[in-house]
Chain A
Amino acid sequence: MLLEYFQMIDVVEDLDPDNGKIVARADVPMKSTVFEGHFPGSPLVPGVLLIETMAQASGFMLLSRMKFEKMPFLANVTSAKMRTFVEPGEVLRVEAELEHDGSGFAATKARISRDGKKICDSKLMFRIMPFPNDTLKNNMLDRYSQIRQSSTG
């Protein structure tokens, strides 16, 4: 995870786009400027960044499913539960699955766990839209290539 750059997913460990499922890993860094403010003396990953992490796992699954022809934009956090704290250095398992493949939108369920223990879960909805420009599309393709390469060695 590079929290400052919103790079939340480090490795895609398993991906089944046809069935709308993804399992990814997110390694929480030991140091980040985010921890200087959240919180001084007691560093914790902000809950909103955990939601972002679940959204990104969902997003990569949707991108892969759509063969990068369109971009999913987070539109609705229908629900989110933060069950426990996440501290620097932790290794997180991020799972997402497609709940509904609508026309111009998609809904997912996502969760984060650590050593089998639930950390948080959410229901998310995305607008599916054309990429606004090639820069974003190429960036998404590059980022996906990096995290997929990580998973295959």
Chain B
Amino acid sequence: MATTFEAVAEIISETSDIPLEEITPEKNAFTDLGIDSLDFLDIAFAIDKNFGIKIPLEKWTEELNENKASVDEYFILSKLCTRIDELIAAKDA
């Protein structure tokens, strides 16, 4: 069974046409991989469907706009995967 990171990397590679080997846990989806917000909608859609969760993009965007959080907190892939795991655990609880 693929890890969360492996599944997310596969999704990013397919939706954004980025070679899988360039997608590593320490990369920031936006600043390192060059994914834009429209591409990220496709990624969020695929992640939601794949894991049966709902990534709280609106809340994250609000926090970013209000400088309550940094882009790295949500979009470095290792941190994104941790948050996905938390959402999966909350769903299953």
Contact = CB atoms under 8 A, between A and B. Distances in A.
Interface residues of B, number: 14
Given A100-B49, A105-B44, A105-B45, A76 B38 contact: yes
Contacts of B55: 102-103
B59 interface: yes
B42 A76 contact: yes
Contact of A103 (B38, B42, B49, B54): B54
A40 B54 CA distance: 48
A105 B57 contact: yes
A102 B56 CA distance: 8
B14 interface: no
A125 B42 CA distance: 9
B58 interface: yes
Nearest to A105: B41
A128 B44 CA distance: 14
B43 to A, nearest CB: 11
B48 interface: yes
B25 to A, nearest CB: 23
A75 B38 contact: yes
A107 B48 CA distance: 12
B61 interface: yes
Interface string B9-37: 00000000000000000000000000000
Given A102-B44, A105-B57, 13 more contacts: A76-B41, A76-B42, A100-B48, A102-B45, A102-B48, A102-B54, A103-B55, A103-B56, A103-B59, A104-B57, A104-B58, A105-B44, A125-B41
13 contacts: A76-B41, A78-B42, A100-B49, A101-B54, A102-B55, A103-B58, A103-B59, A104-B58, A104-B61, A105-B41, A105-B44, A105-B45, A125-B41
